[in-house]
């Protein structure tokens, strides 16, 4: 304790003291947006992609482009803030180690995750649906236009849905 603090019962009002106050205030402002994230090995996470990488790698652009891709499983914890992900063979050109700020925890049951290998996905992460049968066809009349709607059964190796 400094002699001036003993005499007056508080710290002095010099610029050195205000530096500590300013630093603690800056720290509190910075910690408002900070997330303390820790993942365990085997957890499922989403990988955050930048808009430019989204256009280049996944050929998506605009407001409806995906912000996160995945989910991917964590293989290894590297250092304090880095994780190694189990990326698919389609993303072999991407380095598999990511900072914790680029990851988002996958909330849900990993049983419902459909593997990309079984879908026949190409290098652009897209696949072609195969039409099995046309169920129904309707023609609706709207004022002086006719709108045709067709109900189709699509076949996928894992899922069959009619839309």
Q: Is residue 141 part of a domain?
A: yes
- Half-sphere exposure (CA, 13 Å, Cβ side) for 74? 24
Does residue 69 lie within any of the structural domains? yes
Domain count, the chain: 2
Q: In this structure, are 104 and 136 located in the same domain?
A: no
**102 and 134 both lie in a single domain:** no
Tokens 């002095």 found at: 12
CA atoms within 13 A on the CB side of 154: 12
**Would residue 73 count as lying in a domain?**
yes
Regarding predicted confidence, which is higher, 10 or 138?
138
Domain limits for position 139: 130-162
Q: Are 107 and 63 members of one domain?
A: yes
The token pair at 58 is: 């996944």
For the entire predicted model, the pTM comes to: 0.49
Does 85 share its domain with 140? no
Torsion sign across C-alpha atoms 11, 12, 18, 19: negative
- Same domain, yes or no, for 100 and 145? no
Using left for φ > 0, alpha for ψ between -120 and 50, and beta otherwise, residue 67 falls in: alpha
- Tens digits of residue pLDDT in 31-69: 887 777 788 898 888 888 765 454 455 555 566 666 777
Tracing tokens 């996944």 back to the chain, one arrives at 58
Residue 114 is given by DSSP the state P
CB 135 within 8 A of CB 162: yes
Least confident window among 9-13, 53-57, 154-158: 53-57
Name the average pLDDT for the chain.
75
Q: How confident is the model at residue 75 (pLDDT cuts 50, 70, 90)?
A: very high
- Bridge partners of 153, per DSSP, are 133, 162
Do 87 and 140 lie in one domain? The reply is no
Query: What pLDDT band is residue 6 in, cutting at 50, 70 and 90?
Result: confident
Structure tokens belonging to residue 89: 């063979």
Q: Give the pLDDT band of residue 104 (cuts 50, 70, 90).
A: confident
């Amino acid at each position: 304790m400094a002699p001036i603090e003993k005499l007056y019962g508080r710290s002095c009002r010099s610029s050195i003291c205000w530096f500590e106050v300013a630093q603690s205030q800056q720290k509190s402002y910075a910690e408002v947006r900070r997330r303390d994230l820790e993942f365990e090995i085997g957890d499922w996470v989403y990988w955050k992609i930048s808009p430019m990488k989204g256009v280049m790698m996944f050929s998506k652009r605009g407001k409806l482009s995906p912000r996160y891709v995945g989910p991917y499983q964590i293989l290894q914890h590297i250092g304090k803030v880095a994780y190694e992900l189990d990326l698919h063979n389609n993303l072999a050109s991407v380095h598999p180690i990511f900072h914790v700020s680029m990851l988002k925890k996958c909330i849900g049951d990993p049983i419902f995750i459909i593997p990309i290998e079984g879908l026949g996905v190409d290098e652009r992460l897209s696949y072609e649906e195969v039409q099995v049968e046309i169920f129904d066809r309707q023609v609706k009349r709207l004022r002086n236009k006719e709108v045709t709607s067709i109900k189709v059964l699509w076949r996928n190796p894992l899922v069959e849905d009619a839309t």
